[in-house]
């Protein structure tokens, strides 16, 4: 070992010793006194927050708010609480042992299990990359429309509206006819049959390339030294702050409505209304409402998040002394931002007048449609602009974390030491998702990905539950007494909810696509 390398390692060691000493000091302080010290040192939870605050969360929150107003405000906090508890179990295992989970879990549980875990992570990161770019491009085209730039020909807009109306009938023949007409109009009236004007294509690829370039720079920083990691974490903080501010402005603009309806908002958060419109008139269970709620509960945490999280802990150099900090990190930079953003979106749907009071799942509402509906919230189109910028901020953070997780996962799967070059090369894998600005994947691709990813999530949860209770592996870190019982009870609930939620997703995204009624 060179003298320079030895000096570098010694410096890192001294820095870590100082950090551990500071953490021990913070651990002995009262809550209020230690809070800022912990918050300054958070980081890995940011990646999880940015990853889950993407196109999926935006769509789920828009549908929840547009369909039920404040009544489902409780769902996202409960969903993320269960996810945070499961990641807390994972952090306990990883920080206790300091081992890389791909190897240790493969040795302790089963090699094929971790291979599927990694494959599901890569597949989901690539597949869900497409809708992130799609949402960003939709928001950018909507901003262009405010400048009277026509991105979608009027005949295609009319045909798309006809499809939305057909979907409300639940008649397969009417729906198929409307979709066939849309396909025909699209192929006949736009360049390459992509459904956009030349200006629309320019806007779509322009925002896609801009976001990709920004994320390449920031993600490559994460693949570097500790300074690069800090730069990347500040980038994510910026993305999340932008999202919070943008959606917050829309809500604050209607602060008089928020104040008048604060009681209803509070009821929504505590689950006062439970699952609204749970029963049909004939006494049967309302499957659409149940599916919406259970799907939201089971899908707040994705399979790729479960792979990224332990490696982001190790990347920070955290160990057994960082356990309390890890809990703070999950609470302050994962749970809190997720709940804040999704709640603001739901509230915006109600105060902006998108919710019509019917309490029926509105599957035709989309984030872009919600942005248009909020056009008059802050005067002429200002609410629409701000909502669009918030959507772009959400996708930007999610895209970067998809790239980061691919950089980690490929190195682990292939048994390669993680170097800057390798990490950066593999981080570019999901960049093909930029094509999502104008196109969707062939139906078989997301179907296959859904089958693997949603099947693996409850299996991964079960693995974390087992490993967190494996005394032969983590010793006394399994806990004891009432706290251990309560924590394990929450983990079992999280596993059950994830299993049910994954089952719903598999039914909707796989079975119904392969065997339509």
Q: Are 95 and 424 in contact (CB under 8 A)?
A: no
What is the rounded distance in angstroms from the CA atom of residue 202 to the CA atom of residue 186? 17
- For each successive 10 residues of the chain (517 residues), what is the average pLDDT? 41 70 81 78 83 81 88 92 93 93 89 88 89 90 88 85 80 84 83 84 94 91 75 83 84 88 94 85 76 72 88 88 90 90 89 83 73 69 83 88 92 88 93 89 62 81 93 92 95 90 75 68
Whole-number pLDDT of residue 441:
66
Whole-number pLDDT of residue 96:
94
Q: Are 299 and 494 in contact (CB under 8 A)?
A: no
What is the rounded distance in angstroms from the CA atom of residue 509 to the CA atom of residue 449? 9
Residue 128 has what DSSP assignment? T
Torsion sign (Cα): 227, 232, 238, 241 = negative
Q: Which tokens is 231 given?
A: 């730069």
What is the rounded distance in angstroms from the CA atom of residue 417 to the CA atom of residue 185? 51
311: phi then psi, degrees, rounded to nearest 5: -75, -30
Whole-number pLDDT of residue 515:
67
What is the rounded distance in angstroms from the CA atom of residue 295 to the CA atom of residue 471? 34
What is the rounded distance in angstroms from the CA atom of residue 185 to the CA atom of residue 195? 9
Q: Which of 397, 337, 381, 350 is nearest to 136 (CA)?
A: 397
| Residues β-bridged to residue 301 | none
Matching residue, tokens 């993320």: 80
What is the rounded distance in angstroms from the CA atom of residue 255 to the CA atom of residue 170? 38
Matching residue, tokens 């807390």: 88
Q: Show the CA angle centred on residue 103, arms to residues 101 and 104, nearest 5°.
A: 60
Whole-number pLDDT of residue 511:
76
3-state per-residue secondary structure call for 238-257: HHHHHHHHHHHHHHHCCHHH
What is the rounded distance in angstroms from the CA atom of residue 156 to the CA atom of residue 502? 34
Q: Which of 130, 55, 123 is nearest to 449 (CA)?
A: 123
Whole-number pLDDT of residue 487:
95
Residue 334 has what DSSP assignment? I
**Helix residue ranges, H only, 146-286:** 154-169, 172-189, 198-222, 226-252, 255-260, 262-269
Q: Are 55 and 396 in contact (CB under 8 A)?
A: no
Whole-number pLDDT of residue 133:
93
Q: Which of 66, 428, 449 is nearest to 220 (CA)?
A: 428
Whole-number pLDDT of residue 449:
65
3-state per-residue secondary structure call for 338-361: HHHHHHHHHHHHHHCCCCCCCCCC
Q: Are 456 and 303 in contact (CB under 8 A)?
A: yes
User: What is the DSSP code string of 304-333?
Assistant: HHHHHHHHHHHHTT--GGGHHHHHHHHIII
First vs last Cα of the chain: how many Å apart?
A: 66
**pTM of the complete model:** 0.84
Whole-number pLDDT of residue 376:
66
**Alpha-carbon separation of residue 264 from 259, 271, 293, 336, 476 (angstroms):** 10, 10, 19, 21, 45
């Amino acid at each position: 070992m060179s003298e320079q390398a030895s000096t570098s390692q010694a410096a890192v060691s001294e820095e870590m010793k100082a950090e551990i000493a500071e953490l021990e000091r913070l651990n002995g302080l009262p809550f209020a006194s230690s809070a800022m010290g912990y918050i300054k040192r958070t980081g890995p939870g940011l990646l999880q927050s940015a990853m889950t605050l993407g196109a999926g969360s935006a769509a789920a929150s828009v549908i929840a708010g547009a369909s039920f107003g404040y009544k489902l405000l409780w769902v996202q906090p409960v969903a993320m609480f269960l996810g945070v508890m499961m990641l807390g179990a994972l952090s306990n295992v990883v920080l206790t042992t300091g081992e890389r989970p791909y190897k240790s879990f493969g040795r302790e549980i089963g090699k094929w299990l971790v291979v599927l875990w990694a494959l599901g992570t890569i597949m989901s990161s690539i597949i869900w990359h497409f809708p992130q770019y799609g949402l960003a491009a939709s928001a950018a085209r909507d901003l262009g429309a405010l400048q009277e730039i026509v991105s979608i020909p009027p005949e295609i807009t009319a045909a798309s509206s006809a499809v939305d109306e057909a979907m409300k009938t639940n008649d397969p023949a009417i729906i198929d006819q409307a979709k066939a007409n849309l396909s025909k109009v699209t192929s006949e009236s736009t360049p390459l049959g992509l459904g956009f004007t030349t200006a629309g294509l320019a806007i779509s690829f322009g925002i896609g390339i801009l976001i990709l370039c920004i994320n390449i720079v920031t993600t490559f920083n994460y693949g570097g030294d500790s300074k690069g990691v800090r730069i990347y974490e500040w980038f994510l903080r910026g993305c999340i702050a932008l999202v919070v501010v943008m959606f917050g402005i829309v809500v604050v603009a209607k602060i008089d409505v928020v104040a008048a309806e604060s009681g209803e908002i509070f009821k929504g958060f505590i689950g006062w209304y439970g699952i609204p419109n749970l029963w049909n008139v004939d006494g049967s269970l309302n499957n659409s409402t149940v599916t919406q709620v259970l799907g939201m509960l089971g899908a707040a945490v994705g399979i790729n998040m479960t792979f990224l999280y332990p490696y982001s802990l190790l990347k920070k150099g955290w160990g057994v002394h960082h356990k309390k900090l890890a809990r703070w990190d999950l609470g302050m930079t994962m749970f809190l931002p997720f709940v804040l953003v999704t709640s603001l979106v739901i509230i915006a749907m109600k105060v902006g007048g998108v919710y019509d009071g019917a309490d029926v799942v509105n599957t035709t509402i989309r984030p872009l449609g919600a942005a248009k509906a909020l056009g008059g919230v802050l005067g002429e189109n200002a609410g629409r602009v701000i909502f669009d910028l918030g959507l772009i901020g959400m996708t930007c953070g999610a895209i970067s974390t998809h790239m980061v997780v691919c950089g980690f996962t490929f190195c682990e799967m292939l048994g390669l030491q993680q170097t800057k070059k390798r990490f950066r090369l593999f981080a570019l894998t999901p960049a093909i998702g930029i094509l999502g600005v104008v196109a969707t994947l062939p139906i078989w691709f997301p179907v296959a990905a859904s089958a693997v990813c949603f099947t693996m999530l409850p299996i991964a949860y079960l693995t974390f539950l087992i490993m967190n209770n494996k005394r032969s592996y983590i010793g006394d870190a399994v806990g004891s007494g009432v706290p251990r019982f309560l924590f394990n009870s929450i983990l079992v609930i999280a596993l059950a909810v994830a299993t049910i939620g994954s089952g719903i997703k598999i039914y909707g995204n796989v079975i119904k696509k392969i065997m339509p009624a």
